Amino acid sequence: MSNISINMDESYRRLSQNDSQLLQGKKALVRVDFNVPMTNGKIDDDSRIKGALPTIQYLLDNNCAVVILSHLGRPKGKVVESLRLDPIAQRLEELLGRTVKKMNACIGEEIQNAKKSLTSGEVLLLENTRFYSEETHNIASFSRELAENMDFFVQDAFGCVHRAHASVEGVTHFLPSMMGLLVEKEFEALKGVFINRKKPLTLLIGGAKIDTKIGVIRNFLPIADTILIGGGLANTFFNAKGYDVKDSLVEIDKASTALSILQDAGEEACQILLPRDFVVAKDISDTAETRVLNRKNGDLMNDGEKILDIGPETIQQFSEVIANSQTVIWNGPAGLFEFSPFANGTKELGKAIEDNNNTTIVGGGDSVDAINRFGFDETKFSHISTGGGAMLEFLEGKMLPGISALKKSHEL
């Protein structure tokens, strides 16, 4: 039976449900996910910053002062100059059309004085929270300092809510706390998959490793009509079924896990489809020589070859399933789409999902990257999640610390 019920509790507090009069003149501490891709100090994609704008603007429109928390990269508790949030502050200032004061720390006397002097309509961006080891270790004293001189906390970093970090979960112990507009949107979209259950329901899952996907697959066995498996993930299933995948990416030690999933799917009357054919090559490059093999026809791989994409017969079969689905959830690419010889599977399945006018939900960094890379129309997808890991854990039915903590919140 699906384990998702743990995430369905309606007692979570939400920013959108607050009487705006209660917000007037208050100081809001807002956790966002500004962990944007950057090259040489320049932002490559500002979509995560734009995603947080509705919540920030809502607070400003209600005469709040706003203090923003975010991490960037993995500095591992040390100050890394290239991971300071100054470029983000500059871009946020441009998008908001108002001054954003950037601080070079998260705690300390200077920060507390800046919070105290902050007035309605002003925005303060604190430094990278992961410059402090106390952040990832969720140290209460650090959380308390983050919360000091603030009136309430808004959780708007969906990409981080599966982490029990100080700025994600810890601060909720010291402030009235609630979902921001972005997190609420994510929560409702993903929850709707399980509550509405528009059938046929199809899960398209790819990527490299079975460990990060197994919980999701198992949780969907009782409710999905079809699970389509592609990417490196499929290789582990091929290997478990006795097909020699040669030099392909494969988790040999997960063969029993793959076989048990296939057995459980039969018991749940959920159809799991593996690729019938696939594209193989000996090298990974934009000029690689490829050939298409059909597993069902008994085609065998040569030494040194790797499975790097799904083939045309599989594309047609998977696309037909997608076209006939009322709900499609997509997480993970069908192949190594970053290289043109192995991009077709992901591109064509993405197109099939784009053309489906029913409920379509996409998540995971690679899937979202594919949407951008192939120029798909984002408005044609019902929901594009901002958090790959958080989305997977939600769909797996796990408790998300950054969301479950909101139930303990006090009234404003």
Catalytic residue positions?
48, 209, 365, 389
Cβ–Cβ under 8 Å, residues 295 and 234: no
What are the backbone angles phi and psi of residue 263, rounded to the nearest 5°?
-70, -45
Closest by Cα among 277, 55, 314, 294 to 179: 55
Q: How many CB atoms lie within 10 A of CB 297?
A: 9
CA-nearest of 119, 114, 66 to 92 is 66
- Rounded Cα–Cα distance for residues 270 and 284 (Å): 34
Amino acid at 345: G
Task: Give the integer Cα–Cα distance in Å for 349 and 371.
Answer: 11
Q: Give residue for tokens 């509550």.
A: 195
Kindly state the helix (H) or strand (E) to which residue 369 belongs, with its residue range. helix 365-373
d(CA 65, CA 57): 11
Strands 42-43 and 177-179: unpaired
